[in-house]
Chain A
Amino acid sequence: MDDLHSRMLSAHEAQDRMALIKLYAEAADSVNDVDASCFFLTHAYVFALEAGVPDAKALHARLKHYGREA
């Protein structure tokens, strides 16, 4: 997780949205707690929305499944 965290910080610094989507999705999959997972999924979803990439649809579906998104 430390490595993931540092990769996230690098991606934030570089404003690399595609990397941010991937890394936050990876973080969501790396935790067992639904709340923590949805926290990370939310970030992945927001960056996907901003980038206008198809990943947004699947990320939205996952959040909606957990009652976290409209």
Chain B
Amino acid sequence: MTQTITDLSSVRANVEHANGLPNAHYIDPVIYAEEKQALLFSQWAGLAVAADVPEPGDAVPLDFVGMPLLLIRDKDGDVRVFQNICRHRGMILVEEPRKIEGAIRCPYHSWCYSTKGDLVATPHVGGPGQNTHDAIKRNELGLIEVRSHIWRDVVWINVSGDAPDFADAMSDVMQRWREFELPLYHGGHDSRFTLEVNTNWKLAVENYCESYHLPWVHPGLNSYSKLEDHYHIEQPGQYSGQGTLVYRQLTNENGETFPDFEDVGNRWNEQAEYIAVYPNVLLGTHRDHAFAIILEPKGPERTVEHVHLYYSVPNSDEGLRMRNSQLWKTVFEEDIFVVEGMQRGRHAEQFDGGRFSPVMDSPTHCFHHWVAGKVETHRAKAKAAE
């Protein structure tokens, strides 16, 4: 395969002079594979939410950028992520979401693993009816665990295993939202939906970061949430996004609202924030609800957005929840033609990555700058290893 090398020097220029990422970063399978390592596997990326496995033994097979993984809640209630393969012949262990009652049995030769990943049975490994062999050391052949961490119910994974500790890598954003370090309750089946979008995952991040598009793409916001009511959020190398100063709570026909997250402070009465935590998690928080969007890259030009809504109490009003889900679904669907249009635009060969409004687009440029830096670091490491 021919290596595609893109010139990223202009991406890392000051926002006034910078170009966006070249087309190849949105359409070229070689660059997609490069970014898989540089941006997704080497970082703390979003895989799923813990609410996907609510009870001990719940197991969900997932494909993360081509890598077969198993999300499972073990017998003690801890959420874990394993590579979804048997250590014997690399067979896929779990094909469909299901409850693991006892052990995970490989369907090929029936090697068995506990929900904590320990290899507990190796039938006939030493011959018929001989279930041990000196060469097969069970304590060395447990499932391959992928580093994971739960924050805001998102299951973050670091496939390469060498990213800084999660608490260090995410310390700034955790500090920013420290007042919201409270229990989050997933709204349940009416508070999750997916959007399948014909776009590169990065365009979903880029659109989410900035408020510039709001009055044009989401005109419904103009009546109360004007462009000037928004502010930029930028933490170079980690996250960017936008905030609003005029958040208005949803009410039902009786004027009732969702209960607030307790003690988050007056500052958040009318303030809300929307942050893209690099690489692929979009978070939003408000006084009375929150959401998480996991962007699942499915190829250079296809992304599945997994949207989950959370509340401060486990038994929030169902009618309000459904109304809130519909409200957000409408907003996110309004963005689809934009990210799909930009994706198709990346096939215009003379496009130079575009330019940024120095005033309005800096959160998006912050993301481009991060991408370029990570890709260049990855290339330098690959070159040094040659």
Which residues of A come within 8 Å of B, CB atoms? 35-39, 41-43, 45-46, 48-53, 56, 63, 68-70
Contacts and interface: CB of A to CB of B under 8 A. Distances in A.
Interface stretch (B122-130, B302-310, B324-332, B346-354): B122-130
Given A43-B123, A45-B121, A50 B101 contact: yes
B103 to A, nearest CB: 4
A35 B128 contact: yes
Contacts of A45: 121, 123
A61 to B, nearest CB: 13
A5 B239 CA distance: 62
A42 B102 contact: no
B49 interface: no
B127 to A, nearest CB: 9
Nearest to B111: A46
A48 B110 CA distance: 12
Interface in B121-180: 121, 123-124, 128-132, 138
Given A43-B123, A45-B121, A69 B103 contact: no
B128 A51 contact: no
B105 interface: yes
B70 to A, nearest CB: 15
A48 B112 contact: no
Contacts of B129: 35-39, 41-42, 68
Interface in B76-124: 100-105, 110, 112, 120-121, 123-124
B132 A56 contact: no
Interface residues of B, number: 18
B131 A50 contact: no
A53 B102 CA distance: 7
Which of B100, B110, B124, B129 has its CB near the most chain A CB atoms (within 10 A)?
Answer: B129
Interface in B8-59: none
Nearest to A28: B129
Given A42-B123, A42-B124, A70-B138, A49 B102 contact: yes
Most A CB contacts (10 A, CB to CB) among B123, B132, B138 go to B123
A49 B105 contact: yes
Contact of A51 (B102, B120, B121, B132): B102
Nearest to B130: A68
A54 B110 CA distance: 19
Given A51-B101, A52-B101, A52-B103, A69 B120 contact: no
A41 to B, nearest CB: 7
A52 B120 CA distance: 12
Given A46-B112, A46-B121, A68 B131 contact: yes
A36 B130 CA distance: 11
Contacts of B100: 52
Nearest to B139: A70
B101 A46 contact: no
Contacts of A70: 131-132, 138
Contacts of B138: 70
Contacts of B120: 49
The 4 tightest CB contacts between A and B, nearest first, are A52-B102, A38-B129, A39-B129, A52-B101
A49 B131 contact: no
Contacts of B102: 48-53, 56
B132 to A, nearest CB: 5
Given A38-B128, A38-B129, 17 more contacts: A43-B123, A45-B121, A46-B110, A46-B123, A48-B102, A49-B120, A49-B121, A50-B103, A50-B104, A50-B105, A50-B112, A52-B102, A52-B103, A56-B102, A69-B131, A69-B132, A70-B131
A42 B105 CA distance: 13
Contacts of B128: 35, 38-39
A46 B120 CA distance: 10
A53 B103 CA distance: 10
12 contacts: A35-B128, A38-B130, A39-B128, A42-B131, A48-B102, A49-B121, A50-B104, A50-B105, A51-B102, A52-B102, A52-B103, A69-B132
